[in-house]
Amino acid sequence: MNKRAEFTASLEQSAFWMPFTANRQFKKAPRLLARAEGMYYWTPEGRQILDACAGLWCVNAGHCRPKIVQAIQRQAAQMDFAPTFQMGHPIAFEFAERLAAIAPERFKRVFFTNSGSESVDSALKIALAYHRARGEPGRFRLIGRERGYHGVNFGGMSVGGLGPNRKIFGPGVAGIDHLRHTHDIARNAFSRGQPAHGAELAEDLERLCTLHDPSTIAAVIVEPVPGSAGVLIPPVKYLERLREICTKHGILLIFDEVITGFGRLGKPFGSQRLGVMPDLFTIAKGMTSGTVPMGAVIVREDIYDAFMKGPDGIELFHGYTYSGHPLACAAGIGALDTYEEEGLLERAGSLEKYWENAIHALKDERNVIDIRNYGLMGAIELGPRAGAPGSRGYDALVKCFEAGVLIRYTADTLAFSPPLIVEKAQIDRIFETVRKVLQALE
């Protein structure tokens, strides 16, 4: 028995309970990654895999970039950990200032977390606490959206709108309601960029305001472009209308920018590309280019100021042991240096048309019912097999991996979000590989 066969056999009893994975299925035919550099992974056997999804929507600068690696190494040798409860360390303040410098105007305060899930729960708590601080404690209700993904903690799960993530965990947080999703293949199939139809779906928020009384609603949370649900592009004027309704009723608008942040849409943050400003937004993933777990909530100056006008003492009873972890801050600064020196926060804009043409060239392949794109995000939706939804998407994932390209899948939608260093020849390879897989896929 060779080493791989021995390792595969040992997986059956492995202690590792894999997240969001069919564990029994995976362990029968594992897909293992052993090292990475630039645009590529390599398997333990040395087979090269082109990364078409930036790891897990996060490796925006590419893998093992020198400035990031060196920053982590230096920090680990200098100071491994320092608390940020009633203490501080310089690099956390430095990184916060660097983030505020690329954020939209008036977004000058940064609350550190350790992940996108924690960022969402932190943003929801900040929204609730903000209304209480300004004398409106009756604003307790939170509004999410169907097919939204906001992580897996109880707050994010509750405002999220993906059924499988919710159904076995009970009712979740109280006081939650949901807008309808905007995905409309009947009217918007094969749209390039923002689809033309669907702005009127934002009026769902007015319906919920009438149902619940707007004075009870604290915040609405949406992803500018939902990624985990299958790259659902917002219709033209949809986000603008949500912004108008929130402003009208004094409701905070939260953008979940965990995926759309750090250059994915051709600007530092999705709000800047889409021209719609929230009141606070969440980040993670690309803020360290996936190297060290980290997240944050970035808030407007006036929201922070509302907390600073109360009595002396702790203004927000919330935080994490690893908020502003020194290694994560070092990684984040290394990532920002890499993004800025190589122009990666804007690079998606120069590649977007090429990316769009390459993905839409698969329009006539077997089982393709929709293709959509925005920035360096894209999705190909496949018709489901009768009685086996999701199986066609999973088979495409496996076949692409076998052919040397790593993609994502959600049910029967194939999702793409390569590192921002991707070249045109690599875009060609991604979609030519997908074409061949689709042609052979039943």
Tell me the average pLDDT across 411-420: 98
Structure tokens given for 441 = 């896929």
**Given a cut of 60, is residue 1 above it in pLDDT?**
no
**Given a cut of 60, is residue 216 above it in pLDDT?**
yes
CA distances in angstroms from 428 to 230, 265, 357, 399, 416, listed in the order given: 21, 20, 10, 17, 13
Average pLDDT, the chain: 96
Q: At 100, which helix (H) or strand (E)?
A: helix 90-102
Helices (H), 103-203: 116-133, 154-159, 163-166, 185-188
Tell me the average pLDDT across 255-284: 98
The band of 403, judged by pLDDT with boundaries at 50, 70 and 90, is very high
Phi, psi of 416 (to 5 degrees): -135, 135
Tell me the average pLDDT across 306-328: 96
- 220 neighbors 253 (Cβ within 8 angstroms): yes
**Given a cut of 70, is residue 253 above it in pLDDT?**
yes
C-alpha 158: how far from chain center: 17
Phi, psi of 410 (to 5 degrees): -130, 110
In three-state form (DSSP H/G/I as H, E/B as E, the rest C), the secondary structure along 206-273 is HHHHHHHCHHHEEEEEECCCCCCCCCCCCCCCHHHHHHHHHHHHCCEEEEECCCCCCCCCCCCCHHHH
* C-alpha to C-alpha distance for 124 and 254, rounded to whole angstroms: 8
**Given a cut of 70, is residue 348 above it in pLDDT?**
yes
* C-alpha to C-alpha distance for 62 and 335, rounded to whole angstroms: 10
Structure tokens given for 34 = 């052993």
- Residue 360: its pLDDT value, please? 98
Q: Over the stretch 361-393, which tens digit does the pLDDT of each residue have?
A: 999 999 999 999 999 999 999 999 999 999 999
Instruction: Give the range among 24-33, 41-50, 94-103 with minimum mean pLDDT.
Output: 24-33
- Residue 196: its pLDDT value, please? 98
The band of 96, judged by pLDDT with boundaries at 50, 70 and 90, is very high
Q: Over the stretch 114-143, which tens digit does the pLDDT of each residue have?
A: 999 999 999 999 999 999 999 999 999 999
The band of 8, judged by pLDDT with boundaries at 50, 70 and 90, is confident
Task: Provide the whole-model pTM.
Answer: 0.96
